[in-house]
């Protein structure tokens, strides 16, 4: 996959993962699907966008999603985010709603979260690719082991990160994180099916910034 050439300090950590046999299997799997004209999202050159936009050194916050959006034009390598001009998906609408409840920040007209990523928010999905119109289709591929290794790398090699784990799937990753070194915040998923069960009112955005300030880190301009 061409997109796996990471142009910042993430390459130091990810190159070893790229060399693993399981990743070679993943590479072959995606190449086979492409050869069968199976549409995969996001585009190849955007698969590793989360790493390109938030360097390892700059990463302060991790927001973990499940897999990319599976409809045409939505996925661009950042969890919960869509490109400029694309209709804001329901979960992101609810994220914006909680942001307004928490910090009185009016919802942005764009669902593009690159502005967060560039401030050190790693918008990481458990699976970095998905088949068109088939949610969860790559959930049992080696992507899961790859992204779990990323979470462990961050936990082991960084200090004072904030991990936002929304929903049961993300919360399963809590065991990979050293809670003595980092802040783990959990809530229900922002999906319309569960946002009212604990996501609204969680105040994760203000709690994140309070923690960063305590540890002399620049807060996020949400």
User: Would you state the pLDDT for residue 7?
Assistant: 86
Q: How far apart are CA 6 and CA 20, in angstroms?
A: 16
8 Å CB contact between 149 and 30: no
Mean pLDDT over the full length of the chain: 95
**Count of C-beta atoms within a 10 Å radius of residue 87:** 12
The count of other CB atoms within 10 Å of the CB of residue 35 is 8
Structure confidence at residue 2 as a pLDDT band (50, 70, 90): very low
Give the C-alpha separation, 141 to 129, whole Å: 10
Residues in the chain: 222
Residue 125 has pLDDT above 90, yes or no: yes
Report the alpha-carbon distance of residue 136 to residue 144 in Å, rounded: 11
What are the tens digits of pLDDT across the range 65-110?
999 999 999 999 999 999 999 999 999 999 999 999 999 999 999 9
Question: Could you list the active site residues?
Answer: 67
Task: Identify the pLDDT of residue 189.
Answer: 97
């Amino acid at each position: 996959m061409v997109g796996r050439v990471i142009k910042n300090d993430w390459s130091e950590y990810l190159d070893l993962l790229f060399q693993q046999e399981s990743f070679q299997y993943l590479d072959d799997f995606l190449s086979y699907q492409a050869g069968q004209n199976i549409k995969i999202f996001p585009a190849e050159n955007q698969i590793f966008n989360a790493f390109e936009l938030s360097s390892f050194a700059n990463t302060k916050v991790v927001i973990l999603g499940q897999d990319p959006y599976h409809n045409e034009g939505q996925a661009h390598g950042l969890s919960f985010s869509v490109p400029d001009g694309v209709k804001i998906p329901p979960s992101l609408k609810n994220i914006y709603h909680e942001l307004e409840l928490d910090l009185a920040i009016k919802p942005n007209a764009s669902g593009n979260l690159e502005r967060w990523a560039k401030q050190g928010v790693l918008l990481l999905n458990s699976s970095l690719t998905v088949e068109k119109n088939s949610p969860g289709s790559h959930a049992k591929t080696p992507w899961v082991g790859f992204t779990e290794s990323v979470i462990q790398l961050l936990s082991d090699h960084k200090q004072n990160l904030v991990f936002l784990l929304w929903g049961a799937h993300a919360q399963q990753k809590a065991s990979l994180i050293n809670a003595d070194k980092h802040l783990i915040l959990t809530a229900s998923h922002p999906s319309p099916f569960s946002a009212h069960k604990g996501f609204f009112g969680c105040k994760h955005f203000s709690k994140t910034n309070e923690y960063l300030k305590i540890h002399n880190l620049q807060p996020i301009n949400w």
